[in-house]
Structure formats: C-alpha cells, structure tokens
C-alpha cells in the first residue's frame, strides 16, 4: 500500500494524537483519582470525548446524526462494524464501552481503553462480576455502550442480540437506547474490521480515504417498567436497529 504526502500527514497527526492521549492518560488520571468523586466522574470523560473528536477530525470523519442521544445515565445498544465505532460513538458524548478482553492488550489503544474506564469481557467467563460493575456504573450516572452481537460484521447483516448484558439497565432502572451505525461510500468497504484483521494495517487503509462518511441513528429510548425482561429489550433494540438500517437478520 502506497501512501501519498496527505496520507503521511494524516498518519503523523494520528500518531501525535495517540501519543498525547497516552501521555495525558498516564499523567492526569492519577491526579483525577485524588479529586472529589463528583469531579472524578466528570472531567476524565470530557477529556476523552474531546480527544476522540480530534481523532475523528484527523481521520476525516463526516458524521450525520438522526435522532437524539439521551442524556444522563443510559445503556446504548449498538450494532458493531469496526473499532472505529468506538471512536465515533465516544466523540458524540462521554461514554464507556464493553469490549472483548483482547482489546486491552492492544498497543496504545488497550492502554487508553483501560485508562478511560472501559470494561473488558473475557470469553467463556461468567457474567456476574461484569453485570454488577455495569449496574453500579449506571446507578452512578455513567453511560455505557454495549455491542450485543458479540462480534463485528461487514455492515450488511445484523446478527442476534445477546441479552444477558442488558440486565444491568433493568437493575439500575436506566433507559436503553438503540444506536444504528452505518458507513457510506468507500468507507462501507474499508471500515469493517472483521475476521483476522490487524489494527495497524486496517488503520493504514482508513488513512487512504479522503473522508469517512458515517451515519448514526438513535432510536426512541426504552424506559424501564415493572416486569420488563432483558429478552424483550434485546428484541426491541434489534428491531429498531434493523428498521433504521434495513439490514437482514442473521442468527
């Protein structure tokens, strides 16, 4: 793959941003942990969202938003196409993500994810501890993002939504909002991060795009009511995402 001068300039900007992000996380987080709790829950997410917006600008992300992201503590439930989903959703508002444990070991990205308060799930392990942590975070007013398909797709299908990690929203009594993310134009083919893709080669492919066009559809928030079941939440959010994107279902 041959990169022209604009691509190298973009790459240098991304490297600089990741370097600054790592340095800020390493130096500021210990300081924030010593501040009163009300500020611990506010300042780092704001810094994180600001940094992610800068990464989006450097990558040439052109974002269109339909619907209104809910404010306050909530669980966002989204389809999953790429690691870039995390950057884009985190740039919209301060949120934390649930990711597979392998991401925690990625160079730079894993470190930033750990410092940003993201939660990492180990395959094959029980969900009790993670659901308790999610419930506590939601009760404290944090917003979390869940990718219930459990994997990425190429954006042309929608897999089954697993419901077990939707239980914390019920336990915490916070709304659930679906988010449908779709890439358009050249990004539709380049953005998907699937199968055995590696992060750095995939990033280099993204750098060749003059722009990354993406649309977010925020569904009508689902409010918790007596007797609501997590399977019902999974079905409703799946239907909202499917309707928004017109994707076929793959079980």
Grade residue 124 by pLDDT with cuts at 50, 70 and 90.
Answer: low
pLDDT of residue 42: 45
pLDDT of residue 129: 82
Grade residue 25 by pLDDT with cuts at 50, 70 and 90.
Answer: low
Q: How far apart, in whole angstroms, are the C-alpha atoms of residue 54 and residue 57?
A: 5
Which architecture, in CATH terms, is 5-250? 3-Layer(aba) Sandwich (3.40)
Cβ(25)–Cβ(178) below 8 Å: no
Mean pLDDT score, 158-162: 94
Q: Show the tokens assigned to 140.
A: 């404290």
- Residue 136 confidence (pLDDT) above 50: yes
pLDDT of residue 38: 45
DSSP string of 60-119, one letter each residue: TEEEEEES-PPPSSEEEEE----THHHHHHHHHS--EEEEEGGGGGSTTHHHHHHHTT-E
Q: How far apart, in whole angstroms, are the C-alpha atoms of residue 234 and residue 141?
A: 22
Render pLDDT for 172-193 as a digit per residue (tens, 0 to 9). Answer: 999 999 999 999 999 999 999 9
Cβ burial of 131 (10 Å; 0-12, 13-18, 19+) is middle
The mean predicted confidence, pLDDT, of the chain is: 82
Task: Tally Cβ neighbours within 10 Å of residue 78.
Answer: 24
Q: How far apart, in whole angstroms, are the C-alpha atoms of residue 100 and residue 78?
A: 15
pLDDT of residue 168: 95
pLDDT of residue 48: 79
């Amino acid at each position: 793959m041959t990169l022209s001068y604009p691509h190298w300039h973009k790459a240098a900007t991304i490297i600089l941003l990741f370097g600054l992000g790592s340095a800020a996380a390493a130096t500021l987080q210990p300081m924030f942990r010593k501040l009163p709790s009300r500020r611990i829950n506010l300042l780092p997410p704001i810094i994180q969202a600001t940094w992610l917006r800068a990464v989006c600008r450097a990558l040439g992300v052109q974002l269109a938003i339909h619907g209104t992201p809910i404010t306050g503590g909530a669980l966002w439930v989204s389809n999953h196409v790429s690691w870039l989903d995390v950057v884009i959703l985190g740039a919209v508002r301060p949120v934390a993500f649930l990711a597979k444990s392998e991401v925690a070991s990625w160079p730079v990205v894993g470190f930033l994810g750990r410092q940003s308060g993201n939660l990492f799930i180990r395959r094959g392990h029980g969900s009790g501890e993670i659901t308790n942590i999610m419930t506590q975070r939601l009760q404290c007013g944090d917003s979390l993002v869940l990718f219930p398909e459990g994997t990425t797709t190429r954006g042309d299908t929608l897999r089954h939504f697993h419901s077990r990690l939707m239980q914390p929203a019920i336990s915490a009594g916070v709304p659930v909002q679906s988010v449908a993310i779709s890439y358009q134009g050249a990004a539709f083919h380049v953005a998907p991060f699937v199968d055995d893709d590696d992060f750095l080669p995939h990033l280099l492919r993204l750098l060749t795009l003059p722009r990354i066009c993406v649309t977010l559809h925020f569904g009508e928030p689902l409010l918790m009511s007596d007797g609501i079941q997590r399977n019902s939440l999974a079905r409703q959010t799946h239907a909202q995402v499917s309707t928004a994107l017109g994707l076929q279902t793959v079980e």
